[in-house]
């Protein structure tokens, strides 16, 4: 059981880290604000969820698990809301969702 | 491993500080200073100073960012460039910095157990705080009991800051609510445009206030205490103000009520000291509060943390209301 | 059993380093980002990565107290993002022309539209 939990949380954390690095490369290289927003939300949802879930598997049925669960639920609700609010404000302030022609190579 | 994390975080800190210095647009500077505060808090965590990290995060990233945004909303958003290059000032600063660095070479190494700071009162706090004060968190026992005077001073300083802001800036939104709420508040249309945000925040605010109460009363056992709890409680109110408008928030709790609450917090703290004197001990000597010194310490710490929390909460919200009611932000 | 602890310890350490790299990339975007919204996005993402880093550091050093701080960080990060967006909404002056780069600006929505 211990071994299974250890390997399961290793898998979760590894995939989470991979998604995080993907998002980091994306936010660095993508051309437009809205595309970068998508890259950032990949990290906020995928990476955060898998990392926290992997940590929850490791800590058993104790109080830290409940706190991790709170953090997870908070992220699940607040990250999409922040992304929504950010994109709405950007759109209404004049940023354009489609990349300009010079980036289409 | 910790070394790599420390070096990386310090490098980020240096880069952020450099960027803050070079960038002219004040809005970006505020964003970067929020990041700076998060980095500082992470460094405090790696140094095992958990309470300090708590306070740094809550104040530096939350409240300070909000207040700075209110400020540049009322003033300009670009930094004015200096009229000439101040080379002489640069020389003076570099010379002073060099002298300070030379002075620190005489200090003991970081974390050296034989340093004088670790020899006198610190061993007594660490070894005897459990018997004398009875709380698991040594930081709380030092702040509230061993160094209670200092914390009283800090609370009075915060109260004075609130007093100064109210005296200097004042409030413009306290007059007639009736006919102004259409003109200056948030209209029905705007509220419907932010439906998602409104519902999510409405759901979160009670939980935030509950979490603040948890931090307040959990200060004996884990990181937390009055100051952090007051800041988080104020954050809940700031959330409400951001979403529903300043007039609605001032109807929930008016600045007059907040002023009374702030004064009440300081009065509670000082009053505990007077009560201990009336019961025969010294000022802020909690041992005499109950039949048993340990219970007396618990009661004393509970009461003064309550005082600190209420003062901090009301002063933070007061300052935010004062900054937000400036003319630049009223629509 | 001990091998499992060693494994988890190295997993936490590796994940912490990877998260530090992610935070570095975010910081670069916060410093460079041509528009104001890029910086707001980078600051928000930096906050959430800090929360994850702190949780990992807590497990790495064996102190579950850090999770309280992680929760507070998540909260204040959300608060500062929402405050920034309300700041944008509440401005009566138009945004400075270089806040949004020309490549991002839309043709038929003017910046002063509210």
Write the DSSP symbol of residue B25: B
Shared-domain flag, residues B92 and B161: no
Shared-domain flag, residues B151 and B100: no
- Please state the length of chain C: 114
Shared-domain flag, residues B102 and B153: no
Chains sharing 3 or more CB pairs under 8 A with chain A: B, C
Residue range(s) defining the domain that contains residue B152: 137-331
Query: Within a domain: residue B123?
Result: no
Question: Which of the four pLDDT bands, split at 50, 70 and 90, describes residue B118?
Answer: confident
* In the predicted structure, residue B179 carries a pLDDT above the cut 80: no
Shared-domain flag, residues B89 and B199: no
Query: Within a domain: residue B121?
Result: no
Q: Residue B136 and residue B227: Cα distance in Å, rounded?
A: 18
Look at residues B87, B107, B127 and tell me which one is the last residue of a structural domain: B107
Shared-domain flag, residues B199 and B317: yes
Question: Which of the four pLDDT bands, split at 50, 70 and 90, describes residue B120?
Answer: confident
CB < 8 Å to A55, chain C = 55-56, 59
CB B325 within 8 A of CB B171: yes
Q: How many domains does chain B have?
A: 2
Query: Within a domain: residue B118?
Result: no
B184 near C CB under 8 A: no
Listing DSSP states for A5-71 in one string gives HHHHHHHHHHHHHHHHHHHHHHHHH-SSHHHHHHHHHHIIIIIHHHHHHHHHHHT-SSHHHHHHHHH
Nearest residue in chain C measured CA to CA from B137: C65
pLDDT tens-place string over residues B13-29: 999 999 998 888 888 88
Shared-domain flag, residues B233 and B320: yes
Question: Which ipTM was obtained for this model?
Answer: 0.86
- Please state the length of chain A: 105
B37's CB contacts (< 8 A; 6+ apart) are: B56, B57, B59, B60, B61, B64
Shared-domain flag, residues B319 and B204: yes
Residue contact A78–B196, C-beta within 8 A: no
B323 near C CB under 8 A: no
Query: Within a domain: residue B69?
Result: yes
Query: Within a domain: residue B125?
Result: no
Query: Within a domain: residue B26?
Result: yes
Please state, in angstroms and as integers, the Cα–Cα distance from residue A17 to each residue in A31, A50, B11, B219, following that order.
Answer: 23, 8, 22, 34
CB C72 within 8 A of CB B57: yes
Chains sharing 3 or more CB pairs under 8 A with chain B: A, C
Q: Residue B53 and residue C95: Cα distance in Å, rounded?
A: 35
Residue that is written with structure tokens 């104001």 in the block: C36
Residue that is written with structure tokens 């008016």 in the block: B254
Shared-domain flag, residues B165 and B77: no
B324's CB contacts (< 8 A; 6+ apart) are: B70, B241, B246
Shared-domain flag, residues B76 and B165: no
Residue contact C1–A2, C-beta within 8 A: yes
Q: Which residues of B27-60 are buried (b: 16+ CB within 10 A; e: fewer)?
A: bbbbbbbbbbbbbbbbbbbbeebbbbbbbbbbbb
Shared-domain flag, residues B189 and B266: yes
Residue contact C57–B5, C-beta within 8 A: yes
Residue contact A85–B197, C-beta within 8 A: yes
pLDDT tens-place string over residues C70-91: 999 999 999 999 988 888 776 6
Shared-domain flag, residues B94 and B150: no
CB C8 within 8 A of CB A57: no
Token digits for A61? Answer: 């049925």
Shared-domain flag, residues B171 and B90: no
pLDDT tens-place string over residues C15-49: 999 999 999 999 999 988 788 888 999 999 999 99
Query: Within a domain: residue B51?
Result: yes
Query: Within a domain: residue B141?
Result: yes
Intervals of chain A under pLDDT 70? 99-105
């Amino acid at each position: 059981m211990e071994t299974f939990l250890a390997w399961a949380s290793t898998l979760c954390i590894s995939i989470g880290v991979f998604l995080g690095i993907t998002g980091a490369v994306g936010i660095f290289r993508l051309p437009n604000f809205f595309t970068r927003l998508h890259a950032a939300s990949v990290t906020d949802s995928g990476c955060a969820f898998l990392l926290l879930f992997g940590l929850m598997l490791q800590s058993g049925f104790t109080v830290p698990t409940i706190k991790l669960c709170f953090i997870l639920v908070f992220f699940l609700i607040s990250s999409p809301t922040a992304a929504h609010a950010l994109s709405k404000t950007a759109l209404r302030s004049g940023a354009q969702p489609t990349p300009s022609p010079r980036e289409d190579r | 491993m910790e070394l790599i994390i420390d070096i990386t975080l310090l490098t980020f800190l240096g880069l952020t500080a450099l960027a803050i210095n070079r960038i002219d647009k004040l809005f970006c500077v505020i964003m970067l200073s929020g990041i700076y505060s998060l980095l500082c808090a992470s460094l405090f965590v790696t140094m095992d100073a958990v309470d300090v990290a708590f306070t740094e995060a809550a104040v530096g990233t939350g409240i300070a960012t909000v207040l700075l945004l209110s400020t540049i909303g009322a003033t300009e958003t670009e930094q004015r460039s200096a009229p000439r290059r101040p080379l002489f000032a640069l020389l003076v600063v570099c010379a002073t910095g060099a002298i300070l660095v030379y002075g620190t070479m005489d200090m003991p190494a970081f974390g050296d157990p034989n340093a004088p700071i670790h020899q006198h009162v610190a061993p007594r706090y660490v070894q005897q705080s459990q018997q004398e004060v009875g709380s698991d968190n040594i930081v709380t026992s030092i702040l509230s009991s061993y160094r209670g005077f200092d914390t009283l001073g800090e609370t009075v300083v915060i109260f004075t800051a609130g007093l100064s802001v109210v005296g200097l800036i004042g409030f413009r939104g306290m007059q007639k609510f009736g006919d102004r709420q259409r003109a200056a508040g948030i209209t029905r249309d705007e509220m419907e445009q932010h439906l998602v945000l409104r519902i999510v925040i409405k759901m979160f605010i009670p939980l935030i206030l509950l979490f603040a109460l948890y931090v307040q009363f959990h200060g004996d056992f884990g990181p937390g205490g009055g100051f952090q709890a007051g800041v988080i409680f104020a954050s809940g109110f700031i959330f409400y103000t951001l979403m529903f408008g300043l007039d609605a928030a001032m109807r929930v709790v008016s600045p007059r009520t907040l002023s009374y609450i702030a004064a009440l917090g300081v009065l509670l703290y000082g009053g505990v000291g007077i009560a201990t004197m009336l019961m025969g001990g010294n000022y802020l000597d909690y041992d005499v509060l109950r039949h048993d010194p340990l219970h007396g310490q618990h009661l004393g710490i509970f009461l003064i943390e309550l005082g600190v929390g209420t003062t901090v909460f009301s002063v933070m919200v007061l300052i935010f209301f004062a900054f937000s009611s400036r003319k630049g932000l009223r629509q | 059993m001990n091998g499992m602890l060693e494994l988890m310890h190295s997993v936490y350490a590796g994940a912490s380093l990877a998260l530090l790299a992610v935070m570095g990339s975010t910081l670069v975007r916060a410093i460079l980002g041509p528009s104001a919204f890029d910086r707001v996005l980078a600051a928000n993402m930096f906050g959430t990565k800090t929360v994850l880093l702190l949780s990992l550091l807590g497990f790495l050093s064996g102190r579950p107290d850090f999770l309280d701080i992680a929760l507070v960080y998540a909260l204040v990060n959300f608060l500062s993002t929402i405050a920034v967006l309300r700041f944008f909404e509440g401005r009566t002056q138009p945004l400075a022309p270089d806040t949004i780069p020309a490549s991002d600006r839309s043709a038929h929505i003017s910046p002063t539209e509210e």
